[in-house]
């Protein structure tokens, strides 16, 4: 499973976007995608599974203050379905930090 990294500040409301390419750097357009977040520490689900926006080979999901209110490390797991029905997974490591320091 591939992975990406993002850092947000506490109480931010932002979008996370990833683009999908194959090993030859050719854009891959999925049929559908969804995401859910879990904490890295203990695996508790923070936000239930939700649809991600698919535009060409780009996936976008909104991360709201339900997640960013608490400083810590989270994992966004993307479920990606291609036109042949194959399911792929990708995870984004999301770190929530305070602008005031720890």
Which CATH number is associated with domain 2-97? Answer: 2.60.40.1220
Task: Say how far apart CA 36 and CA 14 lie, in whole Å.
Answer: 15
Beta bridge partners of 63: 14
pLDDT tens track, the chain, 102 positions: 568 899 999 999 999 999 998 889 999 899 999 887 676 667 778 887 888 999 999 999 998 888 888 899 998 889 999 888 999 888 899 999 998 765
Q: For the chain, what is the largest distance between any 2 Cα atoms, rounded to a whole number of angstroms? A: 48
Per-domain residue ranges for the chain?
Answer: 2-97
């Amino acid at each position: 499973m591939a992975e990406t990294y993002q850092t947000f500040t506490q109480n931010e409301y932002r979008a996370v976007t990833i683009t999908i390419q194959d090993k030859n750097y050719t854009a891959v357009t999925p049929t559908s995608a969804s995401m859910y977040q879990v904490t890295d520490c203990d695996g508790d689900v923070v936000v239930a599974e939700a649809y991600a926006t698919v535009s060409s080979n780009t996936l976008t999901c909104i991360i709201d203050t339900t997640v960013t209110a608490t400083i810590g490390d989270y994992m966004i797991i993307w479920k990606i379905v291609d036109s042949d029905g194959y399911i792929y997974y990708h995870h984004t490591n999301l770190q929530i930090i305070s602008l005031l320091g720890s």
